[in-house]
Amino acid sequence: MNDIDPSTRRPIDRAVPTASRLAAPSVDQTVDPIRGALVDSRQRWRDLVALSADLAFETDAWGRFVFIFPDEALGWPAGSLIGKSASVLLSDPTGGSGFDPFRTAVAAKRKRVWLKRGDGGLACLGLAAAPILDPTGSLIGVRGAGVDMTEYDLQGAQVAAALRRGEVLDLILRRTGKAVLAPLMMTAALDALVSAVGAEGAAVVVVPEDGTPATVSCQSGIGASDILLAASGLLPATSRDVTQTTSLDGRPILVAGCQPRFGDNGGLAIWRAPTSRPWDTEERMLVGSATNIIRMVMEHESIQSEMNRLGRTDPLTGLLNRRAFIEEVNRQTDRLDRERLPGTLMFADLDHFKAVNDKMGHEAGDKVLLRAASLLRQTVRPSDLVARLGGDEFAVWMGGADHMTVAERADHLREVAPHELGEVVGGDAPRMSLSLGIASRRAGSQEPLDSLMRRADMAMYEVKRNGRGHWRVSLEEPA
């Protein structure tokens, strides 16, 4: 029976002491519900992420996996990862993005992180992660989930790479388009390429078909001489492929063959400074695309060179034409005046050439002209200038030689020309020979070329009037 409290007129409960009712529950009574709630929370979370995530995880305070889902996560058996440091999944110490999802102290969403697959490949995951804190605010773990975005990321990277290649090629074309002459176009193209990929230098390497050493025909930046040996060794085999190699001093080099439709075997070489990182796949693709522009410029350069050669040479004999001959002699006389050296001009005219043309035809006449051109080349030094001035008239300039030296060559021509030319036309044709006129420009002389040419021409026609087939030196002094 309960007693009555006089002050309140209410019964007093004697069955359970008041102190017992107010006492805190035992430790076991407190922990079990929390542990059960945590297990239940994980199960609910596991069921949730199974519907939407390709990876779910929980780590402890030391960054070790305590939970991972699914059972085959990114090709890793989940059981093989439990208890191990989560860093084994990172492709590099920062996950490739400056973010470690397994040790983060702040919540993060939509973070792209590259992780290692079980087969050694890489996967790009879009991750969300949140720290797990104890009542004091200390980090005791991280919980996170993510979706595999590798395919989408690679597609995006391919699109971005293609756009970048387009931008670089557009830059090269713009720079190239501002130049008119082929050598300037090539320099502009190489400058743009070096700038776009952060290279130390780039060069067009030419490997002649005759086996002579490779040369650099155009370059941008520094280091061309250091990479020439390594680059030229790959060119004959690269065709249009892009090959990576390293120079003796450690420069990473990309070599791409860009053989033009005519001319010597050529290629593009581009390199970084010694000990730099190797070239990646995207950079190799970019350089491969750029070689199409380099090839175009090389062909344009060859066309310009051929047009320039044709504009300076006689189309039949390949000798200098009159304009080019005069330009070159004037250039040489300027140097000879500075060095106070002589120079001598010799005119040569074919005797009875018109009669051969009339009797045997122009084809035979062309053969005579070709033999005469060959004979003149063989008689003088490689540095001397030989030209066909027109018709059957030729000219030779021997810089640094006086009239005595040239007279010796003229006498040799007088002796051999009838036999050499006779072999071409045969015994039924008129006897052919050379009439030669010589005019020398003394050391330190300021005699202009037109005066020298007039004197040589007059000496030659003096020979013509006196029987042909010999030589004469003009001793006339300029006024």
- pLDDT tens-digit readout, 402-460: 999 999 999 999 999 999 998 888 777 778 999 999 999 988 788 899 999 999 999 99
Domains in the chain: ranges and CATH: 27-148 (3.30.450.20), 160-311 (3.30.450.40), 322-474 (3.30.70.270)
Closest Cα to residue 372, out of 355, 358, 386, 354?
386
Higher pLDDT, 151 or 406: 406
Two structure tokens written together for 417: 């020309």
CA distance 183 to 41: 73
The tokens 């010694």 sit on which residue? 274
Question: Would residue 338 be called left, alpha or beta, if left means φ above 0 and alpha means ψ between -120 and 50 degrees?
Answer: alpha
Q: Which of 411, 431, 406 is nearest to 421 (CA)?
A: 431
Q: Is a pLDDT exceeding 80 seen at residue 336?
A: yes
User: How would residue 471 be classed by pLDDT, with cut points 50, 70 and 90?
Assistant: very high
Kind of pairing, strands 252-257 and 242-246? antiparallel
Residue 282 has pLDDT above 90, yes or no: no
Q: Mean pLDDT across the stretch 346-359? A: 90
| CB neighbour class for 84 (10 Å; exposed up to 12, middle 13-18, buried from 19) | middle
Q: In what order do the strands lie in the sheet with 252-257?
A: 215-221, 201-207, 265-271, 252-257, 242-246
Give the Å distances, CA to CA, from 410 to 249, 414, 437, 474. 56, 6, 9, 13
Residue by residue, DSSP assigns 174-211 as: HHHHT--SHHHHHHHHHHHHHHHHT-SEEEEEEE-TTS
| Distance (Å, whole) CA 257 – CA 238 | 5
Kindly state the average pLDDT of the residues 352-358: 87
In tens, the pLDDT along 252-277 reads 999 988 777 666 677 889 999 998 88
Poorest-pLDDT segment among 136-145, 256-265, 379-388: 256-265
What pLDDT, in 10s, does the model give residues 164-216? 666 667 777 777 767 666 678 888 889 988 888 889 999 998 887 777 888 88
Which residue is it, tokens 């290692």? Answer: 116
Q: What was the pLDDT predicted at 19?
A: 37
User: Is 0.75 topped by the overall pTM?
Assistant: no
| Percentage of residues of the chain with pLDDT beyond 70 | 80
User: What are the CB-based long-range contacts (under 8 Å, 24+) for 184-189?
Assistant: 185/297, 185/300, 185/301, 186/217, 186/218, 186/294, 186/297, 186/298, 186/301, 187/218, 187/220, 189/290, 189/293, 189/294, 189/297
Which residues make Cβ contacts (< 8 Å) with residue 232, sequence separation at least 6? 205, 207, 213, 214
Closest CA relative to residue 324, chosen from 332, 312, 314: 312
Token pair of 271, please? 């390199």
387 pLDDT band, cuts 50/70/90, is very high
* The pLDDT of residue 25: 45
The tens digit of pLDDT for each residue in 68-112 reads: 888 888 889 988 999 999 988 987 654 445 678 898 889 888 888
